[in-house]
Chain A
Amino acid sequence: MSLSAKDKAAVKAFWAKVSGQADAIGSDALSRMLVVYPQTKTYFAHWKDLSPGSAPVKKHGKTVMGGIADAVGKIDDISSGLLNLSELHAFTLRVDPTNFKILSHNILVVMAIMFPQDFTPEVHVALDKFLAAVSLALSEKYR
């Protein structure tokens, strides 16, 4: 299920529209993940405050969206482009890859809430494929 030229164009166009709100998107997506899928909290036991919109959640949401922005820029070769991030996730963070799907889902939910007109079914499928490609790239170095 690789990204077609049409998918890449859709992702870039949509990203151009929404990237100004990247921090808010990241914070909301992460907040939702921690509330709706509480098992994900196990990765953040070292944070003082895991509640929606808290300082550590906001900060980390920004970090995550920075990675997404990077991937958009490297959309023609996501797996080589994200090698460093993959090593980080594989050897240091060791996040179980099922969680990438969970966070991706919550990013899509936030897009639907914040950009209901622009998040059409065509954009949805392109973004879903893109996030799946990012998730795959992140788990590249796992084993």
Chain B
Amino acid sequence: MVKWSDFERATIQDIFSKIDKDVVGQAALSRCLIVYPWTQRYFGSFGNLYNAAAITSNPKVAAHGKVVIGGLEKALQNMDNIKQAYTDLSVLHSEKLQVDPDNFKLLADCLTIVVASNLGISFTPEVQAAFQKFLDVVVAALRKQYY
């Protein structure tokens, strides 16, 4: 079981209370699709992903960004048992969506960068460590039911 310090719990709650959830999800997902273009393979039905401008203004990307943040909030609400809370999500990503789990880290890195730019200097090294630990746990939980 993952052990969270008081600082980590408080910090992660604080981050989610401060960020603009509608913006961060969309920004992180579009950044992922732009910086790691092979990830576009999972979004064939999203229409125009032809260039950065198209991706950034794509409404399906924006909508899906919100879905992703919703998933993170589920982890936030179940911090002491993310693996269990994510069982169905993990099965979904493995069996239905068939996403290469290495891609989870790419999206996580984009989330870190977007949250960093959102929070500015208050995203201290210690806050970054807590946030990245949270994302590592989420990614591990998403990988858990694969094969």
Which chain A residue shows the least CB distance to B51?
A122
Interface size class, chain B: 20 to 34
Q: Which residues of B contact A109 (CB under 8 A)?
A: 112-113, 116, 123, 128
Interface size class, chain A: 10 to 19
Check: B77 CB closer than 8 A to any chain A CB: no
Q: Which residues of A contact B52 (CB under 8 A)?
A: 120-122
Contact yes or no, A124 B125, CB < 8 A = no
Complex: A34 Cα to B129 Cα, angstroms: 10
Q: List 5 A-B contacts (CB under 8 A).
A: A32-B128, A35-B126, A52-B124, A113-B123, A121-B35
Knowing that A109-B113, A124-B34 touch, tell me 19 more A-B residue pairs with CB under 8 angstroms: A35-B125, A36-B128, A36-B129, A52-B125, A112-B113, A112-B117, A113-B116, A113-B119, A113-B123, A116-B120, A119-B117, A121-B30, A121-B34, A121-B35, A121-B55, A121-B56, A124-B31, A125-B34, A125-B35
